[in-house]
Amino acid sequence: MGEVCLARVDERLIHGQVMTNLSKKSGANSIFIVDDMVANDNFMKNIFMSAGSRTGLKVKIFSVADAVAYWNETQFENFKCILLTKTIDVMYEVAKAGVKINELNLGGIAKKPNTVAILSAVCIKAEDAAHLEEMQKDMGIQDIYFQTIPSSKRVELADALKKF
């Protein structure tokens, strides 16, 4: 049975040294990108496959539905993956569908209207905060935190929720 070593929300998806450091720290042997747009765009798929291959990890790109189906059918085989999404909404969908996630890192979400900065490079809406809280309380993701790179400041979900 496979496992999600680390789930990460980062609008950039695969981001150079960050991914290399995270993969070493987590013990992952693969990167699974879950993004409907990327999964349906061969040009973008090739870019992310190329970027991911430089990490030495196996890269797979899924739509949300395909990622959930792959989990339900194979439990991600023997892959130990870093599961990447661009948005909290997509991670929420994946978790709600039953993909087992133990650790969720929020590492790169740009400032937009109606968002609150948790870290300078991680801003979320009240709706995102509610989804994260539900993921922790009802979906069993105990370790949810904000951290852009492994060596930077870490903010726990409980502390982030105080801003709402």
In the annotation, is 15 catalytic? Answer: yes
Quick one: how far is CA 41 from the chain centroid? 20
Radius of gyration of the chain (CA): 15
Handedness of CA 153, 159, 161, 164 (dihedral sign): negative
DSSP 146: E
The number of C-alpha atoms within 13 Å of 83 and in the hemisphere containing its C-beta is 31
For residues 6 and 22, the answer to whether their CB atoms sit within 8 Å is: yes
For strands 122-124 and 58-62, give the pairing. unpaired
Q: Which of 15, 60, 86, 131 is catalytic?
A: 15
Q: What Å distances lie between residue 52 and 38, 146, 147, CA to CA? A: 14, 23, 21
Catalytic residues: 15
